[in-house]
């Protein structure tokens, strides 16, 4: 662990100065951004990198031999190499698209070619709608069965829990490496090995984990790992997928168009061939500005270290829990989990009212079901508040939040003052 940097995270404001958005105010209150599980703030370096594309490289790749096009092509390749190294996989196994949601839809369509009626898909109750609905759609279309894997007492999923639900009909397991409501994780390496030995496809939704955990695809042995750049200090509109080479090569395209076509028939057979396996999965003009900036995103996170970021966030959560324990009107749902997320409610107040009140003081927290409609079966509440930390958060912000919650007391009175 890089101790110096870790100390920097905790002790000084150098890193906070990287984030221009932290300078904005609401009602004269400083911004306290506690919603990084939804999307992270962006450092100036990365904003500059996005701008650099528009200022100096704006063109398309693969359609011209002119200098700009080849300069951009080599920069796209540099970004792809950085990502592949970050994940420990091959460049050819990286595919770019819009976001995690879109990519899980693509994956579900790819894998639907390899399943038949009554086959089973395993998910968990804590999945984000983006790792639920694509499978519901495929299950309905192909008459498959969806089963939900239980959590163990620590709210994690390991091989034992997977064993309790799989059957000879299980073809796909799709789970979040880290969930977005509780921040709980799964034993991704153990499950990956277990499923690989049984030829069951393993899809990992890495939307949350990518910014807190080092990811080693060779150890996980999954078939797909997907995430969104915007949750790791990068731009919106870019989803990144690791796909196992053999699957990417042998599967048929599920969306098609420009940038991918090699030849097509006009004899009524409607066949076409693609330029390469990689091009097959990226039809149309890509989000070059975002891909361009990914090299800077990876540099930024590697310089600080995702392990250090996670440890910093766990420290913040522990501190928040200890402060909340002093308040009799707070109900916490995941206080014991070592994660960057705390989900809670204020007794007798709706989550929506609390978040609205905090917002008037500059504090951004999320309320609702957090796109996880069936988690209520586990935590037994329809709506909650979620605080999620990232590297720019500080203990002083927690003190400020706790003070506001104490002063809020009866939120409804406060709102109608």
Ligand X SMILES: Cc1ncc(COP(=O)(O)O)c(C=O)c1O
**Residue 291 lies near ligand X (rule: CB under 6 A):** no
3-state helix, strand, coil in the chain (%, to 5): 45, 20, 40
Q: Please give the Cα distance from 226 to 50 (Å, whole number).
A: 22
Nearer CB in complex with ligand X: 205/357: 205
Report the residue from 208, 211, 282, 404 that binds ligand X according to the rule CB under 6 A.
208
Interacting residue with ligand X among 49, 130, 277, 404 (CB under 6 A): 130
Of residues 105 and 251, the one with the C-beta less far from ligand X? 105
Q: By CB under 6 A, which span of 52-60, 66-74, 202-210, 303-311 interacts with ligand X?
A: 202-210
Which residues, including other chains, have CB under 8 Å from residue 403's CB and lie 6 or more apart? none
Question: Which of 80, 108, 131, 393 is the binder for ligand X (CB under 6 A)?
Answer: 131
Residues 95 and 226 sit within 8 Å (Cβ to Cβ): no
Could you tell me how many residues of this chain bind ligand X (CB under 6 A)?
Answer: 13
Closest distance of CB 209 from ligand X, Å? 8
Which is closer to ligand X, CB of 6 or CB of 227?
227
If you count them, how many residues does the chain have? 417
Nearer to ligand X among residue 68 and residue 374 (C-beta): 374
Q: How far is the CB of 130 from ligand X (least distance, A)?
A: 4
Residues 84-123 that bind ligand X (CB under 6 A): 99-101
DSSP assignment string, 277-296:
HHHHT--S---HHHHHHHHH
CA angle 188, 193, 198 (to 5 degrees): 125
Using the minimum distance from each CB to ligand X, give the nearer residue, 64 or 284: 284
CA nearest to 75, candidates 296, 304, 303: 296
CA 357/CA 135 separation, integer angstroms: 37
In 3-state terms, what secondary structure has residue 197?
Answer: helix
Q: Give the x-and-dash track for 30-69 against ligand X (CB under 6 A).
A: --------x-------------------------------
Q: Out of 72, 89, 176, 291, point to the residue binding ligand X (CB under 6 A).
A: 176
**180 forms part of the interface with ligand X (CB under 6 A):** yes
Residue 207 engages ligand X in binding (rule: CB under 6 A): yes
> Three-state SS for 184?
coil
Of 41-49, 60-68, 204-212, 301-309, which part binds ligand X (CB under 6 A)?
Answer: 204-212
- Please confirm, yes or no, whether 371 is among the known catalytic residues: yes
| Minimum CB distance to ligand X, residue 309 (Å) | 16
Q: Which is nearer to ligand X, 166 or 238 (by Cβ)?
A: 238
Do residues 80 and 73 lie in contact, with contact meaning Cβ atoms separated by under 8 Å?
A: no
Asked whether the CA dihedral 296, 301, 302, 304 is positive or negative, the reply is positive
Any contact of residue 205 with ligand X (CB under 6 A)? yes
- Spell out the residues 6+ positions from residue 17 whose beta carbon is closer than 8 angstroms to its own: none
Q: Residues 86, 216, 111, CA angle at the centre, nearest 5°? A: 105
Exactly one of 89, 149, 222, 371 is catalytic; name it: 371
Distances (CA, A) of 394 to 185, 218, 320, 324: 24, 35, 11, 16
Contact partners, residue 115, CB within 8 Å, separation at least 6: 138, 142, 144, 171, 172
Instruction: Pick the binder of ligand X from 228, 339, 340, 393 (CB under 6 A).
Output: 228
The binding site for ligand X (CB under 6 A) comprises 38, 99-101, 128, 130-131, 176, 180, 205, 207-208, 228
Report, as residue numbers or ranges, the catalytic residues.
371
């Amino acid at each position: 662990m890089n101790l110096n940097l870790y100390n920097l995270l905790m002790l000084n404001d150098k890193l906070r100065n990287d984030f221009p958005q932290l300078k904005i105010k609401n009602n004269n209150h400083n911004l306290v951004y506690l919603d990084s599980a939804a999307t992270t703030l962006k450092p100036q370096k990365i904003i500059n990198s996005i701008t650099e594309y528009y200022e100096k490289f704006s063109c398309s790749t693969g359609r011209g031999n002119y200098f700009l096009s080849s300069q951009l092509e080599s920069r796209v390749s540099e970004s792809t190499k950085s990502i592949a190294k970050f994940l420990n996989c091959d460049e050819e196994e990286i595919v770019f698209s819009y976001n995690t949601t879109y990519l899980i839809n693509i994956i579900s369509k790819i894998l639907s070619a390899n399943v038949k009626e009554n086959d089973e898909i395993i998910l968990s109750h804590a999945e984000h709608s983006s790792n639920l609905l694509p499978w519901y759609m495929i299950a309905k279309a192909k008459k498959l069965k969806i089963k939900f894997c239980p959590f163990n007492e620590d709210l994690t999923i390991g091989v034992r829990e997977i064993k309790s639900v799989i059957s000879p009909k299980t073809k796909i397991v799709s789970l979040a490496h880290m969930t977005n409501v509780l921040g709980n994780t799964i034993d991704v390496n153990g499950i990956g090995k277990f499923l690989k030995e049984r030829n069951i496809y393993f899809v990992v939704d890495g939307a949350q984990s990518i910014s807190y955990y080092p990811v080693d695809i060779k150890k996980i042995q999954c078939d797909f790992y997907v995430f969104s750049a915007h949750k790791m200090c990068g731009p919106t509109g870019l989803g990144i997928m690791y796909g196992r080479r053999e699957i990417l090569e042998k599967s048929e395209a599920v969306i098609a168009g420009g940038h991918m076509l090699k030849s097509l028939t006009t004899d009524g057979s409607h066949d076409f061939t693609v330029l390469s396996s990689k091009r097959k999965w990226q039809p149309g003009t890509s989000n070059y500005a975002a891909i361009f900036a990914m090299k800077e995103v990876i540099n930024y996170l590697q310089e600080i270290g995702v392990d250090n970021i996670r440890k910093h966030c766990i420290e913040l959560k522990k501190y928040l829990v200890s402060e909340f324990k002093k308040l009799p009107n707070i109900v916490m749902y995941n206080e014991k989990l070592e994660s960057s997320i705390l989900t809670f409610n204020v007794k007798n107040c709706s989550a929506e009212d609390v978040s609205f009140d905090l917002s008037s003081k500059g504090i951004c927290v999320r309320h609702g079901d957090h796109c996880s409609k069936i988690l209520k079966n586990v935590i037994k509440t329809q709506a909650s508040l979620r605080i999620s930390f990232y590297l720019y958060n500080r203990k002083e912000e927690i003190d400020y939040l706790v003070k506001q919650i104490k002063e809020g007391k009866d939120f409804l009175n406060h709102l109608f003052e």
